[in-house]
Homo-oligomer: A and B are copies of this chain.
Amino acid sequence: MEGRVLSIQSHVAFGYVGGKAAAFPLQCLNYDVDVVNTVNFSNHAGYGRSGGSKTSAAELESIFDAMEFNELLDPARLLTGYTPNAEALTAVAKLARKLRERKPELVYLLDPVMGDAGRLYVAPDVIPVYRTMLPLSTIITPNWFEVETLTDITLTDMPSLRRALAKLHKDFGVPNVAISSIPLKPWLSETLPLSIRPPFASESGYLLCISSSASPEDTPKVHAQCVPLLAGYFSGVGDLFSSLVLAHYNPSDTSRTESRTPFSQAVSQALTKTHAVLCETFRHSEQLPEEERFATDDEKDEVEPLRKVRRMRGRELRLVQSIDIIRGQFNDATRHLETWTGFWDN
């Protein structure tokens, strides 16, 4: 596949999150990428300190207006991610609406970056803006916490998960939802078909990835797969995953079978490659000197900020070194998402 992607998300000078995690993979997969930076920071927030500035709504609009004047606003695909406040996000939303109205076949991947593990890292007034953007999307890639935030449903059991997915598809009109890196809680793994479920003893050692595609005549098709959990927190993984979902999604593929949809295939590719890049990153970080891989310890990190800084630096994605993985020139078997039989059964 080829074409032009307009990517609107964060920029960091050092390391790989946001646009830096997304542009290179998309480029390696033959997409021209137009890169609009919602912030210009030195490094990601996990380091504890960063320099640089946020792009104002007026600056974003000035960029979009000039691109419009120069007839440069005709991407085949749109990718939006971290945008720090409601004013800037409203400018992005306005652009997304214009592009959607102009081109019904636009493939728009909206990553509603708001927070993780129970904690918001954007201003709360961003949430309602994202809700207005959902109907414009082709694909969304929220994490578990972002699904809860968007739907206002706490995910505690299968009925709540079904309600949340149904709400995203029906009330918000989202055609495709992918949720990755889900901790495999017992109520989830118990419901998984045996073909997807990991060996009992190691459930806590796995993460779940779910894809759900709306179907005009039926309930949405839900697929899932587990991948081994790698210890430690790595930044930019979700941004890489989203860019690969977008890169591999082929809407003109009509091979919709019982076990695969074009979307589940894209998510399978993204999951496989993201996991392989993460393994390469994990292996690299394990080989660093001890002082660059101290485990997370909030008390010690507080006293000695460079502990955290060095851990973060050692865990930056090995993206450039993974060019063959990104281009599919490697030997790992594809981690296919499989049909979650009975997902919608009460």
Residues of B close to A51: CB separation below 8 A: 61-67
Residues of B close to A52: CB separation below 8 A: 59, 62-63, 66
* Contact digits for A40-79, partner B, Cβ 8 Å, 1 yes 0 no: 1111000101111101000101111111011110000000
Q: Can you list 20 A-B pairs, Cβ within 8 angstroms, ordered by A? A: A6-B13, A14-B67, A24-B27, A28-B28, A31-B320, A41-B66, A42-B63, A42-B66, A42-B70, A43-B67, A49-B69, A51-B61, A51-B65, A51-B67, A52-B59, A52-B62, A52-B66, A53-B59, A70-B309, A71-B309
Residues of B close to A306: CB separation below 8 A: 71
8 A Cβ contacts from A204-240 to B: none
A30 within 8 A of B: yes
Residues of B close to A310: CB separation below 8 A: 71
A196 within 8 A of B: no
In the bound complex, what is the Cα–Cα distance between A49 and B62 (angstroms)? 11
A35 within 8 A of B: yes
**When the two chains form the complex, which single residue of B20, B28, B50, B71 contacts A66, counting CB atoms closer than 8 Å?**
B50
User: Once the chains bind, are A313 and B70 in contact (CB under 8 Å)?
Assistant: yes
A11 within 8 A of B: yes
Q: Shortest beta-carbon distance, A2 to chain B, in Å?
A: 8
In the bound complex, what is the Cα–Cα distance between A30 and B312 (angstroms)? 21
Residues of B close to A72: CB separation below 8 A: 13-15, 42-43, 313
**Which residue, of A6, A41, A50, A65, has the highest number of chain B Cβ atoms within 10 A?**
A50
Residues of B close to A62: CB separation below 8 A: 42, 51-53
User: Once the chains bind, are B13 and A63 in contact (CB under 8 Å)?
Assistant: yes
In the bound complex, what is the Cα–Cα distance between A59 and B32 (angstroms)? 28
Q: Shortest beta-carbon distance, A242 to chain B, in Å?
A: 19
Residues of B close to A40: CB separation below 8 A: 37, 40, 55, 59, 63
Residues of B close to A66: CB separation below 8 A: 41-43, 49-52
A280 within 8 A of B: no
A321 within 8 A of B: yes
A36 within 8 A of B: yes
User: Once the chains bind, are B32 and A11 in contact (CB under 8 Å)?
Assistant: no
A203 within 8 A of B: no
Using A14-B72, A24-B24 as known contacts, list a sample of 8 further A-B pairs with CB atoms less than 8 Å apart, ordered by residue number in A: A11-B35, A24-B27, A27-B323, A37-B37, A42-B62, A49-B66, A51-B66, A71-B313
A34 within 8 A of B: yes
User: Once the chains bind, are B43 and A13 in contact (CB under 8 Å)?
Assistant: no
Residues of B close to A43: CB separation below 8 A: 66-67, 70, 72
In the bound complex, what is the Cα–Cα distance between A40 and B95 (angstroms)? 18
A306 to chain B: closest residue by CB: B71
Q: Shortest beta-carbon distance, A73 to chain B, in Å?
A: 9
In the bound complex, what is the Cα–Cα distance between A35 and B72 (angstroms)? 23
Residues of B close to A61: CB separation below 8 A: 51
In the bound complex, what is the Cα–Cα distance between A72 and B41 (angstroms)? 13
User: Once the chains bind, are A36 and B63 in contact (CB under 8 Å)?
Assistant: no
* Contact digits for A114-126, partner B, Cβ 8 Å, 1 yes 0 no: 0000000000000
User: Once the chains bind, are B321 and A13 in contact (CB under 8 Å)?
Assistant: no
